[in-house]
């Protein structure tokens, strides 16, 4: 089997040549020089082979660990104990059983009933109410305004498994793994000489405890984040590849169109893709006619797919409510509003409010389980804070020489984080939602930032031994241990 692989054949042939030259080395000085050159080439080939093999092995290991831990969260987290899961489940149920896209209506949000569900930890006699079927778990439908793509994909799973919650959760977890693969592809493209960097970023995404808990639940975050990550991949390849005319912009437009059919919180990625095309136009100094083809290739499929949903929403909800968000805000009566919350809970103190928002958002980004009811101990968050600070300090030691196109990519990644953060802050101007998971749409650039920091530290050792660069990925497996420990120690006993 080894003889079929070109690298092994070349390696064996090189070793044979070297052995023949050893016999004449003492008698012939030029042969000695050629021998040393041959040995150096042989060791270089061995090094390349060893470097490539860990990358494939570690990626497979990351994938297996992700699926195992996600399976644990999917089957061991009690039913409905993932934020908004009943509402997402009922969207799927309505498609599968009624054969039509649902519409959000008054009564889909019942604040009193939701409070009872969470207070009783979704006790069976509260979830199912034969005496009052109009107010049971099936009446929780406040996500009916969402675009339909995720739910259409889940509807066949619902039909095949008779609505089995674990099956729907596992399907979501598999979809969510797409982000892990995309981050690895981006890291591999950006840093081909540092294979550990892409793997470190991928492992960060894979083993983040709160993300594992969310991916192993029924919600459209998994598909939305994966599609956004695919757009990031296409943007990177588009900017770093030779001119490809319209093919990659067409692919970006199609995926952005699918995003328009999935979730509005990742709509921002359409701006990132569009700016990437405009940046290349400016960078390569295209004429207007040359720029028109990629712009149209991107815009047409994105708008055609988006208009399918936007026209539907305008027809159903009227006015300018093309996303159904205005109707959603009217329906969710009783959801904490920011102004009232500051007055009632913090005595009007915005400083205390902002401090609480910052700490809760940070904690829930890493792990605050159930409906935000099960945080991890403070010592865990302190350890995470230290890890994060140390990781980011490693950026000081990572000083690559940036080409103009690299600066464009850095700007687009930074803009992605800024847009998602702004979206989060704007939403919290109206509703109190200190949930770190709302920052996950920018997880791709965030993961690359952490990986760059860790790689900065390991780069101090690479000059001594190239394999020491792989130390950057070691802390990520500690994150996997934390995710599994949190499931068994915090999630299962307390939900």
pLDDT at 3: 39
Q: What is the dihedral of CA 398, 400, 402, 408, to 10 degrees?
A: -30
Whether 448 is in a domain gets the answer yes
Which domain does 72 fall in, by range? 46-105+141-494
pLDDT at 46: 44
Whether 313 is in a domain gets the answer yes
User: What does each C-alpha distance from 156 to 146, 167, 224 come to in angstroms?
Assistant: 18, 11, 19
Whether 240 is in a domain gets the answer yes
Give the span between the Cα atoms of 209 and 483, in whole angstroms: 4
| Residue 43 in this model has a pLDDT that exceeds 90 | no
pLDDT at 291: 87
Whether 456 is in a domain gets the answer yes
Whether 34 is in a domain gets the answer no
| Residue 11 in this model has a pLDDT that exceeds 80 | no
Whether 123 is in a domain gets the answer no
pLDDT tier, 4 (very low <50, low <70, confident <90, very high otherwise): very low
pLDDT at 34: 58
Give the span between the Cα atoms of 414 and 434, in whole angstroms: 22
pLDDT at 396: 86
Residue 193, classified by CB atoms within 10 Å of its CB into exposed (0-12), middle (13-18) or buried (19+), is: exposed
- Closest C-alpha among 129, 182, 150 to residue 84: 150
pLDDT at 1: 34
**Domains: count for the chain:** 1
Model pLDDT for residues 432-443, shown as the tens digit of each residue: 999 999 999 999
Whether 232 is in a domain gets the answer yes
* 420 token code pair: 């998602």
Model pLDDT for residues 275-294, shown as the tens digit of each residue: 999 999 888 888 888 889 99
pLDDT at 115: 92
pLDDT at 304: 98
> Which residues have CB under 8 Å from 92's CB, separation 6+?
151, 154, 155, 158, 168, 218
Asked if residue 202 lies in contact with residue 211, where contact means CB atoms within 8 angstroms, the answer is no
Give the span between the Cα atoms of 91 and 97, in whole angstroms: 10
Whether 2 is in a domain gets the answer no
441: left (phi over 0), alpha (psi -120 to 50) or beta: alpha
| Residue 52 in this model has a pLDDT that exceeds 70 | no
* 426 token code pair: 């704007």
% of the chain beyond a pLDDT of 70: 87
Mean pLDDT across the stretch 361-372? 97
- β-pair partners for 374: 369
- Closest C-alpha among 63, 108, 81 to residue 169: 81
């Amino acid at each position: 089997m080894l003889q079929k692989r070109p690298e092994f054949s070349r390696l064996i042939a090189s070793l044979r040549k070297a052995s023949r030259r050893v016999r004449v080395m003492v008698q012939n000085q030029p042969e000695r020089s050629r021998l040393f050159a041959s040995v150096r080439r042989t060791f270089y080939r061995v090094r390349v082979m060893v470097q490539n093999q860990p990358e494939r092995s570690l990626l497979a290991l990351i994938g297996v660990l992700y699926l195992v831990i996600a399976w644990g969260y999917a089957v061991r987290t009690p039913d409905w104990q993932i934020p908004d899961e009943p509402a997402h489940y009922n969207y799927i149920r309505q498609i599968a059983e009624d054969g039509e896209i649902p519409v959000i209506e008054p009564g889909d949000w019942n604040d009193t009933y939701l409070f009872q569900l969470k207070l009783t930890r979704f006790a069976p006699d509260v979830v199912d109410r034969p005496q009052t079927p109009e107010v049971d778990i099936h009446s929780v439908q406040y996500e009916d305004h969402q675009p339909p793509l995720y739910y259409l994909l889940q509807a066949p799973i619902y039909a095949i498994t008779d609505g089995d919650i674990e099956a729907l959760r596992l399907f979501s977890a598999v979809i969510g793994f797409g982000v892990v693969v995309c981050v690895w592809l981006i890291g591999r493209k950006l840093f081909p000489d540092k294979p550990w960097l892409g793997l470190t970023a991928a492992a960060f995404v894979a083993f983040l405890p709160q993300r594992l808990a969310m991916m192993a639940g029924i919600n459209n975050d998994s598909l939305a984040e994966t599609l956004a990550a695919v757009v990031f991949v296409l943007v990177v390849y588009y900017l770093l590849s030779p001119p490809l005319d319209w093919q990659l912009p067409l692919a970006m437009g199609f995926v952005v169109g699918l995003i328009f059919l999935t979730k509005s919180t990742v709509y921002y990625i359409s701006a990132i893709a569009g700016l990437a095309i405009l940046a290349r136009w400016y960078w390569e100094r295209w004429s207007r006619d040359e720029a028109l083809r990629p712009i149209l290739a991107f815009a047409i499929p994105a708008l055609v797919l988006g208009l399918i949903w936007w026209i539907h929403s305008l027809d159903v909800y009227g006015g300018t409510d093309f996303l159904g968000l205005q109707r959603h805000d009217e329906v969710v009566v009783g959801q904490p509003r920011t102004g009232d919350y500051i007055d009632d809970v913090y005595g009007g103190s915005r400083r205390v409010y902002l401090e609480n928002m910052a700490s809760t958002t940070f904690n829930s980004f890493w792990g605050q389980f159930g409906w935000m009811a099960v945080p991890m101990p403070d010592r865990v968050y302190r350890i995470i804070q230290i890890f994060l600070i140390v990781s980011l300090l490693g950026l000081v030691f990572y000083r690559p020489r940036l080409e103009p196109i690299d600066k464009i990519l850095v700007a687009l990644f930074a803009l992605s984080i800024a847009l998602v953060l702004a979206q989060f802050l704007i939403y919290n101007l109206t509703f109190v939602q200190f949930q770190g998971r709302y920052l996950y749409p920018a997880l791709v650039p965030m993961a690359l930032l952490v990986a760059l920091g860790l790689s900065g530290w390991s780069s101090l050792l690479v000059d001594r031994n190239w394999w020491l660069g792989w130390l950057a990925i070691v802390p990520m497996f500690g994150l996997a241990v934390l995710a599994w420990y949190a499931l068994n120690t915090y999630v299962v006993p307390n939900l």
